[in-house]
């Protein structure tokens, strides 16, 4: 098992996963509905491949790596791409939760009183209590 080939394959697969997740993210942000079945099918197809690729990486031994090629760069690139995948997947999960909520829940604002109104009520409460710290 050539480490350079395993790393290149893994990086290619990571790029494919990222592309699908980016497409899903765009869909969720623009259409504000669940992604199409086509996107979900591609995602279901590629995720087991990513698992297999991660297993292949785990099988690599340090002594397989040559100090004279770019395998260290490939490892770093793969790691960076995986972090991007995790971040984007988390964002997609949050968007999916939001899309799944009713429209009423999506627009709910717990704090519908303006900050100025709250300040005014606080001042009025202190004035009613004859609080000496309040300027009149």
pLDDT in tens, 40-76: 999 999 989 989 998 998 898 888 777 788 888 988 9
Contact 12, 78 (CB under 8 A): no
Output the DSSP codes for 33-51: SPPPHHHHHHHHHHHHHHH
Q: pTM for the complete prediction?
A: 0.70
**Residue 68 parent element (H or E):** none
Angle at 37 between CA 34 and CA 40, to 5 degrees: 80
Handedness of CA 15, 21, 26, 29 (dihedral sign): negative
Strands (E), 11-79: none
> What are 73-88's pLDDT values in tens digits?
988 999 999 999 999 9
Is 132 a residue whose pLDDT tops 70?
no
Which region holds residue 32: left if phi is over 0, alpha if psi is between -120 and 50, else beta? left
DSSP state of 63: G
- The pLDDT tens digits of the residues spanning 23-43 come to 999 999 999 898 999 999 999
Confidence category of residue 110, pLDDT binned at 50, 70, 90: low
């Amino acid at each position: 098992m050539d480490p350079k080939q395993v790393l290149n394959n893994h990086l290619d697969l990571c790029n494919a996963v990222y592309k699908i997740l980016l497409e899903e993210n765009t869909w969720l942000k623009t259409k504000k509905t669940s992604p199409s079945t086509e996107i979900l099918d591609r995602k279901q197809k590629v995720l087991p491949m990513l698992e297999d690729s991660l297993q292949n990486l785990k099988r690599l031994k340090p002594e397989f790596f040559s100090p004279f090629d770019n395998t260290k760069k490939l490892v770093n690139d793969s790691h960076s791409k995986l972090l991007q995948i995790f971040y984007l997947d988390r964002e997609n999960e949050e968007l999916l939760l939001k899309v799944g909520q009713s429209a009423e829940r999506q627009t709910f604002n717990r704090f519908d009183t303006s900050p100025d109104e709250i300040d005014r009520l606080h001042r009025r409460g202190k004035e009613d209590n004859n609080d000496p710290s309040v300027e009149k």
